[in-house]
Structure 1
Amino acid sequence: MRTAQPRHYLMCRPTHFDVVYSINPWMDPRKPVDTPLAIAQWESLRQTYLSLGHTVETIDPLPGLPDMVFAANGATVIDGRALVARFRDAERIAEGPAYLQWLREHGFADARTASIVNEGEGDYLLAGEWLLAGTGFRSDPRSHAEAQEFFGRPVIGLTLVDPDYYHLDTALSVLDEKTVAYYPAAFSPGSLAVLQRLFPDAIIATDADASVFGLNAASDGYNVVLPHNATHLIEALRERGFNPIGADMSELLKAGGSVKCCTLELRSAG
């Protein structure tokens, strides 16, 4: 029997959401963006978390930072310690200090900005005792050693090779401490071999699942919130004893983000 564990999340309302630049293949400034719809989809996601008994806090969105809604990129928080993102792209650099300030003002005294490019939970996913760490498009591989020293947990480097899946959280989802789902084509041959060795019972996503960002999901160990149109993945989750909950994040996908991108987990000490 799978058991849901209460989560503590940080989110950022997409008040200023727009696509005015392109830093990943999903972003096309020529396509219209419906900001009120993005807000409605985000609010529905927030309400879903609350209905599941999770704690959701919010950080104030800042003008001029349309991607700040993607709170997962802001930091990695484990055991009450926060390693705040150092973004690769100039358009997002100012998000880092905003997240650092919020974390310090809300009880995370042991918070500091990464020294090397590191895009938070976009590329760092905790799976049991291991910290799975993506690289290839955003986070610098040298940041893996920095994260290991900071958190004192073994870091498993994984190389992404498809620019459509530019962050680890677009190609892999941690479902519980021992179970993950991932899209094999997003990884280098060596990294795929590592995943097969570490997680022989993983759920394998199809091309169709990946293309709708089905792996950009948030799990509490039982309930898995994910894009509603990842139909094969939803059925696979159900067969494995999880409770999939579909969400419509289509407007936020225009900027290359979905459920997990909007969700930073705040893990306290102990």
Structure 2
Amino acid sequence: MDKLSIGVFDSGFGGLTVFKSIAEKLPQYNYIYLGDNARSPYGDHSFETVYQYTLECVEWLFAKGCPLVILACNTASAKALRNIQQLDLPKKYPNHRVLGVIRPTAEVIGEYTKSQNVGVMGTRGTVNSNSYPIEINHFFPSVKVHQQACPMWVPIIENNEHENDGADYFVDQYIKELLNQSAEIDCVLLACTHYPLLIPKLKKYLPNHINLLAQGDIVANSLADYLLRHPAIENQLAKNSNHEFYTSGDVNAFNQHASVFLGKSIGAKAMVKG
């Protein structure tokens, strides 16, 4: 049997921040990244729509030879992961696995707060799902979770405006709205994989005592642990350090924007649906 790749999926470019951390932590494996840019962003879509879009892309990655797929997208993890894991995998893909980014983050976030008050900044879809309060409560029942939807941040980043002065208004606005919920917040989680590109601006407006937490390294560490605990999957994976990138949108635009996220140029291919 041919050796297989790890699939990494996002609705657009944001998952590249997670992919970058994973590839740095586990450089030996082969990876296939898929961005559903033609239908991005997912944040304001219904649960059913996000589930359908995500399942289509996961099945596409399965067909490309990925027995393990990481949903490097908080909205997809919040709105689609549970259905895929509970309904689709047992019936159609019993030997495949799909993991998200919410649970690994919830498992460790209590280590980053002393006040037991955490802020979560995400898309409307992620916030409205209440996935983070539910998951964090499983592991850290005493932690209070304060959520803030930031609907303008993904469009700003996807249009490469995140370093411009116009982005400051929306960064400042959403931070104020979050911190107005509680003066006790001492840890802020960026619950969208796009948001790390805003970290320089976020640090301008966040008080110095607040921990700012991105997900890339957390997810990478969790994946490394998962592969150690699941040798049946790990043994299937090729170790040639090959990286392939696909997009459902415009390839040239994807290559241009991806270089901002990855810090290097890539040559993506068009997603061709079978």
TM-score normalised over the length of structure 2? 0.33
Higher helix fraction (1 or 2): 2
Q: Which has the higher contact order (CA 8 A, sep 6+)?
A: 2
Bigger Cα Rg: 2
